[in-house]
């Protein structure tokens, strides 16, 4: 895979973010998602690669584009697997809340887990706490280990958890330890990635969220040298069968970072749509818009933050109706 692809994937997430940002706070999550999907798909068509969607908007009969198995790019080498979430946080954008991003991960063929669209129990930490946590360990044990690894007092530790009834016991356990909590309404990719960066105010992300989102976050943590562990959390027998169809025979298996994102030859890109833990949201100006993007390359460990100024006078060909 070539260095110039890094910037190409930044263009992909920028396009999705710009298109969906027009819908912030307008109460129409479907329109926001559709705008992001179409914009992202249009830019993928221009990239020199032979890509296959392994995590996307659903099966072929469920999604008109960016569906699982869809081919992306010009069809030229390199051959890659692609995981996308054109709008991670549809409810966030609909309500004008914080933390929505457009995100993509790309790895050499076979380098990403083909995660079914179901829940996954997860824990994520940055490089300094790598090896200090275990998904099956008690909450207190994990937090004590992370605090020690980060050389922090327990009451200075911040844990991000999705605000769901299923996490009530976990939330009480974290509080009993004396650690701080940031409850989020949706979108756990951004805080999982933020664990790997000092200054974001996020030390640990834990709890049950989407399995596809777990793979996307794992790709970033692979680039950063962080750690993520997960285990599928099926709700019914249909979930179990869905996992088996995608090649996951044991839904109870502890999934390590090597299972979720097995290749160092991996790219990750995300652009903020609304203000978040790691990225600023899209800002519209008299001339156009400003985006904030992070791109990572696993093989080199390079991380770039890109502030891009987009001029609407020179409308990009991926511009959507109503997006600009």
- Whether residue 76 is annotated as binding a ligand: the answer is no
- Whether residue 316 is annotated as binding a ligand: the answer is no
Tokens 């298996």 identify what position? Answer: 253
- Whether residue 119 is annotated as binding a ligand: the answer is yes
- Whether residue 62 is annotated as binding a ligand: the answer is no
The token duo for 45 is: 């068509």
The length of the chain is 324
CA 20 from chain center: how many Å?
A: 16
Contact by Cβ (8 Å): 158, 89? no
- Whether residue 186 is annotated as binding a ligand: the answer is yes
- Residue 53's nearest CA partner among 39, 67, 37 is 67
Q: What is the C-alpha to C-alpha distance for residues 85 and 149, in angstroms, rounded to an integer?
A: 32
- Whether residue 85 is annotated as binding a ligand: the answer is yes
- Whether residue 187 is annotated as binding a ligand: the answer is yes
- Whether residue 297 is annotated as binding a ligand: the answer is no
- Whether residue 8 is annotated as binding a ligand: the answer is no
- Whether residue 210 is annotated as binding a ligand: the answer is yes
Contact by Cβ (8 Å): 254, 271? no
In the chain, beta strands by DSSP E:
50-55, 71-72, 79-88, 101-108, 119-125, 158-162, 180-184, 204-210, 227-232, 266-272, 283-284, 288-297, 302-311
- Whether residue 213 is annotated as binding a ligand: the answer is yes
Point out the annotated binding site: 33, 57, 85, 88-90, 119, 164-166, 186-188, 210, 213
Binding-site positions for substrate: 88-90, 119, 164-166, 186-188, 210
Known binding-site residues for Mn(2+) equal 33, 57, 85, 88, 213
């Amino acid at each position: 895979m070539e260095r110039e692809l890094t910037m190409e994937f930044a263009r992909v997430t920028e396009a999705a973010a710009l298109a969906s940002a027009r819908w912030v706070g307008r109460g129409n999550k479907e329109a926001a998602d559709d705008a992001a999907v179409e914009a992202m798909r249009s830019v993928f068509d221009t990239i020199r690669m032979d890509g296959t969607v392994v995590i996307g908007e659903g099966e072929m009969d469920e999604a008109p584009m960016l569906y699982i198995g869809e081919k992306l790019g010009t069809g030229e080498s390199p051959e890659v697997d692609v995981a996308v979430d054109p709008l991670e946080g549809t409810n966030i954008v609909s309500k004008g809340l914080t933390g929505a991003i457009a995100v993509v991960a790309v790895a050499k063929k076979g380098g990403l887990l083909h995660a079914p669209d179901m829940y996954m129990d997860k824990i994520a930490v940055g490089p300094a706490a790598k090896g200090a946590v275990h998904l099956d360990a008690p909450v207190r044990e994990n937090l004590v280990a992370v605090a020690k690894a980060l050389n922090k007092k327990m009451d200075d530790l911040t844990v991000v958890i999705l605000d769901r009834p299923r996490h009530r016991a976990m939330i009480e356990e974290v509080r009993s330890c004396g650690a701080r909590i940031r409850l989020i309404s949706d979108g756990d990719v951004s805080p999982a990635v933020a664990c790997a960066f000092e200054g974001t105010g996020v030390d640990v992300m834990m709890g049950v969220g989407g399995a596809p989102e777990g793979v996307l976050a794992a790709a970033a943590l692979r680039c950063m040298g962080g750690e993520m562990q997960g285990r599928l959390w099926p709700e019914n027998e249909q979930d179990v069968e869905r996992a088996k169809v995608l090649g996951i025979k044991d839904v109870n298996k502890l999934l390590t970072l090597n299972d979720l994102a097995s290749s160092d030859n991996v790219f990750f890109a995300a652009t903020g749509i609304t203000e978040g833990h790691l990225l600023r949201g899209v800002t519209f100006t008299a001339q156009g818009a400003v985006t904030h993007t992070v791109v990572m390359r696993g093989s080199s460990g390079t991380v770039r933050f890109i502030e891009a100024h987009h001029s609407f006078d020179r409308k990009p060909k991926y511009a959507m109706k109503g997006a600009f």
